[in-house]
């Protein structure tokens, strides 16, 4: 785990490995064809939200929670490397996410 904490409406995401470069039919997909596709990642941490400029009230990040799987554009992700673990993470504004996968409720 990392000690990096996002601020504001940012979330910290670890991208799932997307090493698959062959189609089901066996065709090789060029790296440039996939670099702009939507990416899928695991939410590691969520920022506290933003304060209103009007009254200073904190508006937390809605819906997105740690442990969720999210879909995002690589064009809206800022890559960082944890200096301790050397792992790659991405800061993404929660407002530019394309979607998420619902978390299963084990008590349901």
**Max Cα separation, the chain?**
58
Q: In what order do the strands lie in the sheet with 77-81?
A: 77-81, 88-93, 10-15, 39-46, 69-72, 99-101
More confident residue, 1 or 96: 96
Asked whether the predicted pLDDT for residue 34 surpasses 60, the reply is no
State pLDDT tens for residues 43-86: 999 999 998 888 989 999 988 999 999 999 999 999 999 999 99
- Specify which of 33-42, 46-55, 89-98 reaches the highest per-range mean pLDDT: 89-98
Q: How many helices (H) and strands (E) does the chain have?
A: 1, 8
- Within a 10 A sphere around the Cβ of 14, how many other Cβ atoms? 15
Q: Model's pTM, two decimal places?
A: 0.77
Reported as a pLDDT band with limits 50, 70 and 90, residue 96 is very high
Q: Is 80 exposed, middle or buried (0-12, 13-18, 19+ CB in 10 A)?
A: middle
**How far from 64 is each of 12, 57, 75, CA to CA, in Å?**
11, 19, 20
Average pLDDT in the chain: 84
More confident residue, 33 or 99: 99
Q: What is the pLDDT of residue 17?
A: 78
At residue 71, the 3 state secondary structure works out as strand
Closest CA to 8 of 97, 70, 93, 72: 93
Asked whether the predicted pLDDT for residue 22 surpasses 90, the reply is no
């Amino acid at each position: 785990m990392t000690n990096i904490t996002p601020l504001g409406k940012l979330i910290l995401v670890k991208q799932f490995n997307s090493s698959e470069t062959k189609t089901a039919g066996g065709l090789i997909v060029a790296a440039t064809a996939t670099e702009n596709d939507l990416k899928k990642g695991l939410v590691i941490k969520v920022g506290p939200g933003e304060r209103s400029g009007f009254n200073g009230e904190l508006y937390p990040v809605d819906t997105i929670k740690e442990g969720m799987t999210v879909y995002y554009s690589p064009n809206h992700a800022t890559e960082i490397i944890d200096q301790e673990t050397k792992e790659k993470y991405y800061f993404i504004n929660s407002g530019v996410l394309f979607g998420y996968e619902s978390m299963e409720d084990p008590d349901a």
